[in-house]
């Protein structure tokens, strides 16, 4: 991609282009790489927190005829038998509850208008399922975030008398009790409420109807006086929703989120929804990266039984999101994968089974992607006692194909054994994914976090190498992210006795050279656990649960990607958490997302287990505002001036973009301390100090690189300039070197 020349020659030749670009800034200014403590500069949230799960959706049922949908706290099925409503009552509810309604009659006065209902399948329009039962009589179910809005529409008068719609009820919740103008079907952990009936005519006139329970049936009625004078069409309209008593908490109804960004400007958030202790489903929701608003309807992945631990990655080449999770359905345990294709009208592609067993389960799974080869899924196989991997490769024209599974680590007798695999999210730059896992040796009671590099096709590129070891059984929950030639690995050190829970982390390069370990928490007043990692070349975000003497919070902390030293920037969730997971994914810059050095921008979506029994989503940014760029002039030749980027340089983020028009000559980008310039005719050249050969495109040359998260860089200044040597130019403003010209100089002041 390019080269770097440092003068004096202090460059570590084993560094990659990305590393040397960041290293150059600190070296030029004489700043030692070990970080100092920064003044507080909090990560800034954008707008308000989004309730990600507070949406609804409807789709064709993938498991049979009919429709499947759901809202904030329920699922619903519409088929030939009618409606089946399943409330999400949380993991404390021992079994899944339901309320099913099957229509049996429509009467007006003593006349039965509809007495026989054939096996009619509903039709779907957006989030509404409709049954056409007779001429001018339609039963409609609008799937809304807060419940199912049931309505009957009558196109013309049907006679004189009270209008009654009668349903047979099948429910696990027992007989209802009247409450708040409706009927409440309530069990020990919550239930279902059918709201009061309302009649609405064509003029907008409204009347309160009645809701009655009679021998296993619900009757919804409108008074005869309204039916006789109403303007048609006439609508009968109750609401069916989940009933959660005020004194009841819904533990982990929505939990375990993950998120990823696409090149089309949207985040996909996935999570698990607990209907009961025996039923959990995987859901998803798109979120706009510019506004934080929900986009489209809820995504219902083809999960079954008890599904958990969804993880997501994005493959730009196929424009697919890949989601993986573990599940137990009946006696079958499996690891499931399903892709969401952004260019498909239906979105979800056919699910694929990564691994399956009827003898033992799969504790966890994780997913990463490579731009060329596709998705790599790693998972813990309790049948084979191994950490395994499978690769799903993109097929030109659409679709994915899956290769054979292979083991990354295998248990030995009497030890060690391997658990809790994780993998870096993307393989940019050198086509390497870092897989990590927990290692435990029962013979001597020791534990470790081990790593192994895989290529995009899943092949091993390194031996298994310890990243950290312990003489006790206290290392758990490894997490990893990174690409090119640097990764950040975090893990949980469980406390016992006088040792408190802590999150620890360190950097890793491709040769398994390890940075110094850094600790978050580990005291009685600050205990940390459940780490996640969101890597960028300059600043990495570590998510974790923090437990103090007075509160529990979920936090996102910024650390330097080269040394994991704290940047003193932390986002704290606005509500006490209902679970332990918080994770972020960065927005990549449009148009350059395939490039390793420009892969991540300054904004991200943070998602977490929210105490409001939802998945919280918060847009955050880490852009500083005190850096500046000042034009100093001194340019000469065909490219004497160029338009500066409006983004100032700040520590701990990617460097400001630098562009210059394409030219047939040799183009270099030069950085230098603020010293005297070298005049030559009308030209003023910045002394060559750190010279970068840019990436070249058809219409311009481009460089971009991180500024280290070093406090000593704040306020420091650099001069920058593009220099071009083009021997095809007959005349040159600098007579000493024919064909040499330069852009104007720029004074860069680095901010925080």
pLDDT of residue 154: 96
Confidence label for 640 from pLDDT (cuts 50, 70 and 90):
low
Question: Which tokens belong to 504?
Answer: 């620890």
> How confident is the model over 555-607, as pLDDT tens digits?
999 888 888 888 778 899 988 898 999 999 988 754 444 444 444 567 899 99
Neighbours of 358 (CB within 10 A): 10
pLDDT of residue 646: 55
| E strand residue ranges, 226-364 | 234-237, 239-243, 254-261, 266-276, 279-288, 294-300, 306-315, 320-329, 332-341, 352-357
Question: Which tokens belong to 530?
Answer: 């459940």
Torsion of CA 225, 229, 230, 232, to 10 degrees: 130
> How confident is the model over 162-208, as pLDDT tens digits?
999 999 999 999 999 998 789 999 998 899 999 999 999 999 999 99
pLDDT of residue 395: 77
**pLDDT of 113 above 60:** yes
pLDDT of residue 654: 57
Mean pLDDT value of segment 607-617: 87
Confidence label for 35 from pLDDT (cuts 50, 70 and 90):
very low
pLDDT of residue 663: 75
End-to-end CA distance of the chain: 29
Least confident of 369-383, 559-573, 719-733: 719-733
Cα 96-98-101 angle, rounded to 5 deg? 165
Give the integer Cα–Cα distance in Å for 613 and 595.
38
Q: What percent of the chain has pLDDT over 70?
A: 87
CA 508 to chain centre: 24
| Higher pLDDT pick, 400 / 301 | 301
pLDDT, mean over the chain: 86
**pLDDT of 32 above 50:** no
> Which sequence spans correspond to the domains of the chain?
4-41+624-749, 47-53+254-621, 60-243
Torsion of CA 591, 594, 597, 601, to 10 degrees: 50
Question: Which tokens belong to 280?
Answer: 């959990």
Burial of 359 (0-12, 13-18, 19+ CB in 10 A): exposed
CATH number of 60-243: 2.70.98.50, 3.20.10.10, 1.10.10.10, 3.20.20.150? 2.70.98.50
Confidence label for 641 from pLDDT (cuts 50, 70 and 90):
low
Place of tokens 């997490």: 479
| CATH top class, domain 47-53+254-621 | mainly beta
Give the integer Cα–Cα distance in Å for 462 and 469.
18
Residues 6+ apart with CB under 8 A from 271: 52, 53, 254, 255, 256, 257, 258, 282, 283, 284, 310, 607, 615
Q: Report the candidate in 151, 164, 166 with the shortest Cα–Cα distance to residue 233.
A: 151
Label the pairing between strands 365-370 and 426-427: parallel
- CA 320 vs CA 311, 422, 515: distances in Å: 14, 20, 34
47-53+254-621 and 60-243 share one CATH topology?
no
Place of tokens 């893990």: 491
Question: Which tokens belong to 391?
Answer: 């690769």
Beta bridge partners of 143: 148
Give the integer Cα–Cα distance in Å for 651 and 750.
7
Look up the pTM and report it: 0.85
CA atoms lying within 13 Å on the CB side of residue 144:
14
Task: Give yes or no for a contact between 503 and 556, defined as CB atoms under 8 angstroms apart.
Answer: no
């Amino acid at each position: 991609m390019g080269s770097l020349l440092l003068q004096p020659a202090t460059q570590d030749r084993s560094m990659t282009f990305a590393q040397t670009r960041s290293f150059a800034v600190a070296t030029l200014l004489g700043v030692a790489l070990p970080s100092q403590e920064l003044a507080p500069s909090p990560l800034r949230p954008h707008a308000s927190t989004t309730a990600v799960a507070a949406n609804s959706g409807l789709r064709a049922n993938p498991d049979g005829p009919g429709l499947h949908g759901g809202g904030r706290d329920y699922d619903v099925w519409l088929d030939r038998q009618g409606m089946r409503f399943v409330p999400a009552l949380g993991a404390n509810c021992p079994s899944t509850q339901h309320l099913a309604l099957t229509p049996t009659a429509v009467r007006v006065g003593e006349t039965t208008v509809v007495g026989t209902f054939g096996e009619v399948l509903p039709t779907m329009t957006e989030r509404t399922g409709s049954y056409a039962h007779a001429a001018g009589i339609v039963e409609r179910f609008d799937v809304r975030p807060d419940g199912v809005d049931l309505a009957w529409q009558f196109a013309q008068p049907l006679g004189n008398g009270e209008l009654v719609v009668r349903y047979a009820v099948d429910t696990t919740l027992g007989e209802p009790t009247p409450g708040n103008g409706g009927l409440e079907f309530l069990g020990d952990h919550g239930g279902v409420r059918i709201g009061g009936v309302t009649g609405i005519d064509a003029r907008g006139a409204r009347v309160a109807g009645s809701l009655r329970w009679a021998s296993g049936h619900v009757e919804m009625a409108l008074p005869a006086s309204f039916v006789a004078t109403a303007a048609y069409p006439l609508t009968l309209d109750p609401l069916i929703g989940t009933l959660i008593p005020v004194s009841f908490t819904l533990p982990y109804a929505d939990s375990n989120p993950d998120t990823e960004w696409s090149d089309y400007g949207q985040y996909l958030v996935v999570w698990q929804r607990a209907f009961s202790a025996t039923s959990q489903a995987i859901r998803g929701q798109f979120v706009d990266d510019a506004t934080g608003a929900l986009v489209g309807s809820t995504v219902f992945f083809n999960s079954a039984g008890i599904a958990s631990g969804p993880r997501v990655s994005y493959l730009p080449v196929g424009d697919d999101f890949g989601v993986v999770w573990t599940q137990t359905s009946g006696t079958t345990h499996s690891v499931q994968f399903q892709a969401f294709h952004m260019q498909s009208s239906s979105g979800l592609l056919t699910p694929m089974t990564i691994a399956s067993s009827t003898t033992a389960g799969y504790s966890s799974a994780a997913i990463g992607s490579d731009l060329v080869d596709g998705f790599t899924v790693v998972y813990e196989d309790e049948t084979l006692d191994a950490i395994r991997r499978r690769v799903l490769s993109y097929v030109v024209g659409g679709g994915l194909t899956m290769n054979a599974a292979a083991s990354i680590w295998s248990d030995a007798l009497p030890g060690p054994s391997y658990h809790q695999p994780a993998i870096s999210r993307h393989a940019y730059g050198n086509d390497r994914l870092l897989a990590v896992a927990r290692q435990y040796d029962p013979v001597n009671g020791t534990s470790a976090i081990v790593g192994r590099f895989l290529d995009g096709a899943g092949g091993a590129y390194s031996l298994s190498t310890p990243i950290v070891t312990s003489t006790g059984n206290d290392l758990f929950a490894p997490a990893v992210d990174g690409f090119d030639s640097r990764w950040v690995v975090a893990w949980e050190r469980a406390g016992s006795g006088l040792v408190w829970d802590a999150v620890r982390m360190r950097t890793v390069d491709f040769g398994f050279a390890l940075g110094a370990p850094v600790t978050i928490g580990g005291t009685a007043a600050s205990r940390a656990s459940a780490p996640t990692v969101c890597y960028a070349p300059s600043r990495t975000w570590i998510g974790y649960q923090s437990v103090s003497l007075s509160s529990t919070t979920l936090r996102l902390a910024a650390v330097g990607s080269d040394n994991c030293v704290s940047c003193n920037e932390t986002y704290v969730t606005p509500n006490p958490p209902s679970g332990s997971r918080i994770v972020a994914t960065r927005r990549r810059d449009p148009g350059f997302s395939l490039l390793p050095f420009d892969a991540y921008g300054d904004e991200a979506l943070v998602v977490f287990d929210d105490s409001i029994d939802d998945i919280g989503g918060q847009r955050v940014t880490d852009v500083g505002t005190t850096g500046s760029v000042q034009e100093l002039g001194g340019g000469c030749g065909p490219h004497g001036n160029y338009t500066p980027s409006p983004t100032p340089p700040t520590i701990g983020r990617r460097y400001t973009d630098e562009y210059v028009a394409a030219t047939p000559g040799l183009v270099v980008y030069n950085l230098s301390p603020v010293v005297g310039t070298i005049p030559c005719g009308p030209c003023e050249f910045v002394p060559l100090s750190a010279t970068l050969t840019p990436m070249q495109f058809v219409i311009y040359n481009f460089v971009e690189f991180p500024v280290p998260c070093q406090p000593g860089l704040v306020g420091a200044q650099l001069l920058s300039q593009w220099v071009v040597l083009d021997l095809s130019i007959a005349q040159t403003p600098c007579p000493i070197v024919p064909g040499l010209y330069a852009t104007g100089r720029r004074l860069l002041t680095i901010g925080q």
